[in-house]
């Protein structure tokens, strides 16, 4: 379940799907990479200082399950750098030692391209708006 790495060619469609999603993110969520940046295109990386990543994942999982997204796809497709999720202070220290802002690291989540494509961009953006309003 999500343990294997798969190479995916960086296609124009992959970039378009990810950048369209990231461009629509509501405040206070922001993409990790700027549009057109050289990056892996197998996931969207979203950060916020307003919420803990593990809390965001918990809320996203509920929203995705309500839309009948496969639980295995959800589990394999969501990841957080939150200390609550990682439960490993050494990793958090390692990230901080490389200049990562602790608040952004805490609120950073990864969404796989496969999971991102499982629901509409509009549904994702609605979910992020609703999650932020729960604070």
Residue with the bigger pLDDT between 101 and 72: it is 72
Contact predicate 29/48, CB 8 Å: yes
Structural domains for the chain: 12-133 (3.90.1150.10)
Q: How confident is the model at residue 102 (pLDDT cuts 50, 70, 90)?
A: low
pLDDT digits (tens, 9 = 90+) for 40-72: 889 999 999 888 888 999 999 999 999 999 999
For residues 96, 99, 102, 108, the Cα torsion angle rounded to the nearest 10 degrees is -110
- Confidence at residue 72, expressed as pLDDT on a 0 to 100 scale: 94
CA angle 53, 69, 40 (to 5 degrees): 55
In the chain, which ranges are continuous DSSP H helix? Answer: 12-23, 53-66, 71-77, 83-86, 89-97, 102-106, 113-116, 121-133
- Region 23-33: mean pLDDT is 93
Q: Is the pLDDT of residue 81 over 80?
A: no
- Confidence at residue 103, expressed as pLDDT on a 0 to 100 scale: 58
Lookup result for tokens 């950060």: 47
Chain centroid to CA 74? 11
Beta-carbon count within 10 A of 60 CB: 22
- Confidence at residue 94, expressed as pLDDT on a 0 to 100 scale: 72
Contact predicate 2/76, CB 8 Å: yes
Which tokens sit at 50? 């307003």
Which tokens sit at 23? 């461009």
Beta-carbon count within 10 A of 3 CB: 5
**Rounded to whole angstroms, how far apart are CA atoms 66 and 61?**
9
């Amino acid at each position: 379940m999500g343990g294997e790495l798969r190479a995916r060619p960086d296609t124009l469609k992959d970039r378009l799907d990810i950048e369209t999603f990231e461009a629509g993110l509501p405040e206070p969520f922001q993409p990790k990479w700027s549009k057109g940046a050289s990056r892996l295109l197998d996931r969207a990386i979203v950060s916020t200082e307003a919420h803990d990543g593990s809390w965001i994942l918990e809320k996203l999982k509920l929203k995705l399950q309500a839309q009948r997204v496969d639980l295995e796809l959800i589990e394999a497709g969501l990841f957080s750098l939150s200390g609550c999720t990682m439960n490993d202070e050494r990793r958090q220290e390692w990230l901080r030692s490389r200049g990562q802002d602790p608040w952004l690291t805490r609120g950073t989540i990864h969404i796989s391209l496969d999971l991102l494509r499982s629901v509409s961009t509009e549904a994702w953006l609605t979910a992020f708006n609703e999650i932020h309003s729960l604070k």
